[in-house]
Amino acid sequence: MSSNIYDFSTLTGSIHAWLSGLMSTGWVTFTEMVLVGLAFLLMYALLGLFLVYAERKVCAFMQNRVGPNRVGPYGIIQTIADLIKLLMKELIPIRKSDPLLFNLAPFIVIICSFLALAALPYAKGLQAIDFNIGVFYVMAVSSLSVVGILIAGWSSNSKYSLIGAMRSGAQIVSYELSVGLSLLAIVVFAGTMQLSGIVESQADGWWIFKGHIPAVISFIIFLIASTAEINRGPFDLAEAESELTAGFHTEYSGIKFAFFFLAEYMNMFIVAALGATVFLGGWMPFHVGHWEGFNNIMDYIPSVVWFFSKTFFLIWVIMWFKWTFPRLRIDQLLTLEWKYLLPISLFNIVFIAFIVLMGWHF
Amino acid sequence: MNSILEYFADIFKGISSLWAGMRITGKYFFSPGEIVTQQYPENRATLKMEDRFKGEVIMPHDENNLHACTGCGICEMNCPNGSIEIITDRVANAEGKMERVIDKHIYHLSMCTFCELCIKTCPSNALAWGQKFEHAVFDRSKLTKVLNQPGSKLRKEAK
Amino acid sequence: MSEEIIKDVIIGENEDYIINMGPQHPSTHGVLRFEVCLKGETVKYLIPHIGYIHRGIEKMCEANTYPQIIHLTDRMDYLSAHMNNEAVCLLVEDALQVEVPERVKYIRTILDELNRIASHQLWWCAFGMDLGALTSFFYGLRDREHILDIFEESFGSRLLHSFVMPGGLMHDVHPNFQKRIKEFITYFRKKLPEYDQLLTGNVIFQNRVKGIGHMSKETAIGYGVTGPSGRGSDYSCDIRKIAPYGAYDKVQFNEILETGCDTWARYKVRMAEMWESLSILEQLVDNIPEGDYTAKMKPIIKLPAGEYFQRVETARGELAVYAVSDGNKSPLRMRFRTPNFSNLFVMNEITAGHKIADLIAISGSLDLVIPDIDR
Amino acid sequence: MLNRQELTDIISGFVPEAEFPEGKQLLEVIVPAEKLFSLVENLKSDKRTAFNYLINHTAVDFTTHFTVVYHLESTDFRHLVVLKSLIADRENPNIDSLTALYPTAEYFEREVFDLFGIRFNNHPNLKRFFLEDDYGYPLRKDFRDEVNIIER
């Protein structure tokens, strides 16, 4: 394979070797865990802040505005200023709320989004933990956040919050099916659930190109369903600020609100990263057939750039959806899932199984 | 069979209508020249309000510090919400006759609704619109203004 | 008193889920409170509570002279300020038997239509936002800015321009007036199809608005729903056609009627009215006759004792002014029959059985302006 | 569309004691308060008149008496009539409600009740709209509010 020049496993391996020379195996594992945790915390915060800024800029450009431009050059530290503001805000206790659950909910939501980050392959050799059921794991933990949302809506003792939470519950439970089935399509193609394995299988072409039309269909279904799963417009019924003021986080303030806010953006990053990994080849560069020169140029772009550019492209598409479409009604939302997305993806997966059986894919 | 066709036609029509909307927002995303936002505090130097802009009521004074207000009180009478108060004084003029002059022409900007009746009805055209629009202050009392400048006098028309 | 409040709150049965939408709810467009009783997500009934910004304009009118009243009417329906002003002016001119110059009539009509377009644009953006399409809000406001700039150039103010006086206008329009209107017409004719692409054709949008909020013609007449909301129910209620004022008898225009009776029909009426207003503007803008901008009026206007009644079509429906004069310079009683007051109370009738999201869509399609309800 | 004379004839057929003041902008009819409801009912149901649209309903305080004013229009024929009733009783003014005929009357009447204190019989929900229950009736000419209203 030609894309070996930016392999992170040499870097991580040398760190490991250096640490092993200093201390015993147990301590090495502990130190590495702390280092990885710190790295993820840093990445989480930076990505969250960047995504909030990106969202504002994207929506501003779509709306003929300039967006944040006051704090720092081009407003790039606007979100940091917002974060400081949110940190200093009062945490308002809600009368007759359930204090334990009320305080717990933002943490559940944010932990779920944090867990999913671990399994994503960011670049060649840069993956915290390579599960052999990676796809399954990411889906499982990212859908856990509905528990946090339900708890938040229930415990805030607000009628708007409760409606928002109930909507969110119905929505995530049903859209989980479509997300799963559309990912399953690629799992069938690749023959593995391991995320690194799926990426490796795309070395000679991304699944969206190799998998014919069924892969395109499942990609579109994945985009729609995952947008719904992370409660973003046009499926932001759980928040629905024109109907329910702010939905499940109406009563939250200060840093607890910021947790929900951050988790929403990180969930967006996670689904975009998952989509990029599964459909668009993850950190694999773009190769065209036998154009050796072109392929070599592509290999010189580091794999981490490939991964993040694909992910941010998908994030941009999801933002594009949000800033174009009106919100669906709850019954239409469920109709879309059960009458359109689910049957189509079921047929699609049968079709893909048939293709794979006949060996028609590349 | 027909209903199956309809089902797929629905999907197709739906997606194409969604794409039409996405084309609009996408087009504007890639054309930053269409941005209409005015960068307000930065463009202060070039920001020119229209001549007729109703910023506040002013009393124009000429270079000799003369104004045209005779203190007749018609503007005070016509103001719907009492934002004008006129305090007049009587002073002796050159011929020794007592004459009415304004002491203070008080204008409460905080109460003004910009209906233009004072300016419209003024018989001597002593009032006009000012183009200043940055009226924000920290104290409400600062919005009460005295329109005639200190030491100003009534402009005598040549007879 | 307190007992009544308690009775007010605990009005439903025990399992009823009563939520208060407003007074600070994002989609009531002002300080209006809906007491909504829900069963699941379905609205069982709805009680509007108004009066949060009641300013007693009718009482204030009794202490003001007629020219002073005009600037109060701006503050009722601030989005059709010009039509409100014109209603009082027409009433005074009618009472004094003043013949206003042709030029004034033409300019007033142009301003009516410009104001109507501006108001419908704001409605369009707010309606899109109610349904969650936030981008529509900025596109509408962007185009509305062009009209407001024309207003600013001629009258000095953008929203509440007390530009009309009994007998004519405050002063003549700006020399650029005609040129800028023509520019606006060509500009907006290009932008209006974008509105359709972004929202009207959108399948999500259509599914959201079609078939909800059914208001039959009888309901509309019974509740006195007028304006585009009434015309969406095939109820011909355009005062511009019934009792033409200004230059409306000199222009060709159609009264837009839709038979759908639902939110979608009301949406289509307003979109078509923007096109219609553009064509009215086109007919008028080149034909403004020369002449005085005001008729000769006495400095102090006193209406002869009697009762006067004047109706105009604002952007939201029929505004009727009823004045009782005892011969003094201020009226004995001034009554404004505002369109939104009547349009609001049909809500309970047409929202029952719909979802909360539909409630927002329906209230958006009625295009409520709260200061107009409260006066 | 019926002209003034035809409408006058029809209305005096329904209520013989109705008065028709001369020299008004619109056709005005002054009917006794107790006859008002039956007259409006007849005007609405009669095929010739079909007054189905209540444009405006309000009251005027003439200090000696209240006048309750209804502007009715027919959406089919587009003729307009102004009905008036005089209420001399200032302490406990009341008149029949038209809510049964026009749903919009319910809210116009609540507003009139709020601002004038005129009670409407058979009104389903006669509560104050804008003001507190113990506040006076501000559109009456003898209303004084020293705190909130500055007299000029």
CA distance B48 to B40: 12
User: Before A234, cis peptide (omega within 30)?
Assistant: yes
**D122 occurs within a structural domain:** no
Residue B119: closest CA among chain C residues belongs to which residue? C170
> Strand, coil or helix: what is A55?
helix
Look up the domain containing B28 and give its range: 2-34
**D54 occurs within a structural domain:** yes
Distance from CA of B24 to the nearest CA of C (A): 7
Residue B19: closest CA among chain C residues belongs to which residue? C202
- Name chain A contacts of C201, Cβ cutoff 8 Å: none
Is residue C10 predicted with pLDDT exceeding 50?
no
CB contact (8 A) between residue A61 and residue B35: yes
What is the pLDDT of chain A when averaged over all its residues?
82
Instruction: Tell me the backbone φ, ψ of residue A55, rounded to 5 degrees.
Output: -60, -45
- Name chain B contacts of A325, Cβ cutoff 8 Å: 18, 21
Are C294 and C164 in the same domain? yes
C342 reaches D (C-beta below 8 A): yes
CB contact (8 A) between residue C131 and residue A323: no
Are C68 and C192 in the same domain? yes
Look up the domain containing C327 and give its range: 57-374
Distance from CA of A85 to the nearest CA of B (A): 23
**B87 occurs within a structural domain:** yes
Are B74 and B29 in the same domain? no
Going by C-beta distance under 8 Å and a sequence separation of 6 or more, which residues neighbour residue C79? Answer: C115, C118, C119, C122, C123, C315, C316, C369
pLDDT band at C14 (very low <50, low <70, confident <90, very high): low
pLDDT in tens, D15-63: 777 777 777 777 888 888 888 888 888 888 888 788 888 888 888 888 8
Is residue D89 predicted with pLDDT exceeding 50?
yes
User: Before C23, cis peptide (omega within 30)?
Assistant: yes
- Tell me which of A293 and D101 has the higher pLDDT: D101
pLDDT in tens, C190-242: 888 888 888 888 888 888 888 888 888 888 888 888 888 888 888 888 888 88
Q: Is B117 within 8 Å of C71 (Cβ atoms)?
A: yes
Provide the 8-state DSSP code for C199. Answer: I
| Mean pLDDT of the A122-141 span | 80
- Cα-to-chain-centroid distance, residue A143: 11
> How many residues belong to chain D?
152
Sequential DSSP letters for A66-128: ----SSSGGGTTHHHHHHHHHHHS--PPPTT--HHHHHHHHHHHHHHHHHHHTT---BTTB-S
| Mean pLDDT of the A73-91 span | 85
CA distance C171 to C182: 21
pLDDT for res C12: 46
- Name chain C contacts of A163, Cβ cutoff 8 Å: 19, 41, 356
- Touching chains, A (3+ CB pairs < 8 A): B, C
Are C26 and C174 in the same domain? no
DSSP 3-state percent helix, strand, coil across chain B (nearest 5)? 30, 20, 45
CB contact (8 A) between residue B20 and residue C152: no
Domain tally, chain D? 1
Are B84 and B136 in the same domain? yes
| Mean pLDDT of the B92-105 span | 76
| Mean pLDDT of the C83-100 span | 87
Is residue C13 predicted with pLDDT exceeding 60?
no
Are C145 and C40 in the same domain? no
- Cα-to-chain-centroid distance, residue A2: 29
pLDDT for res A361: 65
**B159 occurs within a structural domain:** no
Are B28 and B74 in the same domain? no
CA distance C271 to C124: 8
Are B99 and B68 in the same domain? yes
What is the pLDDT of chain C when averaged over all its residues?
84
| Mean pLDDT of the A22-46 span | 83
pLDDT for res C70: 86
- State the pairing for strand pair D80-87/D66-73: antiparallel
| Mean pLDDT of the A91-107 span | 83
- For the whole model, what pTM was predicted? 0.86
**D53 occurs within a structural domain:** yes
Q: Which residue has the tokens 């507190």?
A: D132
Whether chain A lies against chain D with 3 or more Cβ pairs closer than 8 A is: no
What is the pLDDT of chain B when averaged over all its residues?
82
- Name chain A contacts of C41, Cβ cutoff 8 Å: 163, 167, 330
pLDDT band at B20 (very low <50, low <70, confident <90, very high): confident
- Name chain A contacts of B34, Cβ cutoff 8 Å: 64
Are C92 and C236 in the same domain? yes
Is residue D138 predicted with pLDDT exceeding 80?
yes
Q: Which residue has the tokens 């000696």?
A: D64
Structure-token pair, residue C93: 């001119």
Q: What ipTM was assigned to the predicted interfaces of this complex? A: 0.83
Structure-token pair, residue A117: 């980050």
CATH of the domain at C212: 1.10.645.10
CB contact (8 A) between residue B22 and residue A340: no
CB contact (8 A) between residue C202 and residue A327: no
Buried b (16+ CB within 10 A) or exposed e, C328-359: eebbbbbbbbbbbbbbbbbbbbbbeebbbbbb
CA distance A43 to C83: 57
CA distance C316 to C228: 6
Are B73 and B119 in the same domain? yes
Look up the domain containing D85 and give its range: 4-90
Domain tally, chain C? 2
Are C25 and C74 in the same domain? no
Residue A322: closest CA among chain B residues belongs to which residue? B22
- Touching chains, C (3+ CB pairs < 8 A): A, B, D
Q: Which residue of A157, A160, A163, A325 to mutate against C (max C Cβ within 10 Å)?
A: A325
B21 reaches A (C-beta below 8 A): yes
Is residue C8 predicted with pLDDT exceeding 50?
no
Q: Which residue has the tokens 């760190």?
A: A15
pLDDT for res C9: 46
- Cα-to-chain-centroid distance, residue C295: 28
Is residue A85 predicted with pLDDT exceeding 50?
yes
CATH of the domain at D28: 3.30.460.80
pLDDT in tens, C273-312: 888 888 888 888 888 888 888 878 777 888 888 888 888 8
CB contact (8 A) between residue A326 and residue C133: yes
> Strand, coil or helix: what is A171?
helix
pLDDT for res A3: 46
Radius of gyration of chain A, Cα coordinates, nearest whole angstrom: 21
Sequential DSSP letters for D41-104: HHHHH-TTT---EEEEEEEEE-SS-EEEEEEEE-TTT--EEEEEEEE--SSS-EEE--TTT-TT
List Cα–Cα distances, C349 to C213, C345, D100, in angstroms: 9, 8, 15
**D74 occurs within a structural domain:** yes
| Mean pLDDT of the A225-229 span | 86
**D119 occurs within a structural domain:** no
Are B12 and B64 in the same domain? no
pLDDT for res A4: 53
Q: Interhelix angle for C102-130 vs C356-366, to 10°?
A: 170
Q: Nearest CA to C372 among C72, C140, C121?
A: C72
pLDDT band at C6 (very low <50, low <70, confident <90, very high): very low
What is the identity of the amino acid at C282? E
A&B contacts, CB < 8 Å = 36
C237 reaches D (C-beta below 8 A): yes
Are B66 and B107 in the same domain? yes
CA distance D84 to D105: 15
Is residue A209 predicted with pLDDT exceeding 80?
no
Structure-token pair, residue A252: 């939250």
| Mean pLDDT of the A268-292 span | 80
Residues 222-261 of C with CB under 8 A from B: none
CB contact (8 A) between residue C320 and residue D82: no
Distance from CA of C101 to the nearest CA of D (A): 22
pLDDT band at D151 (very low <50, low <70, confident <90, very high): low
Q: Is C156 within 8 Å of B53 (Cβ atoms)?
A: yes
Closest CB to D58 among C306, C335, C342:
C335
Are B93 and B21 in the same domain? no
CA distance B49 to B131: 6
Task: To the nearest 10°, report the CA torsion of A32, A37, A42, A45.
Answer: 170
Are B24 and B89 in the same domain? no
Are B54 and B107 in the same domain? yes
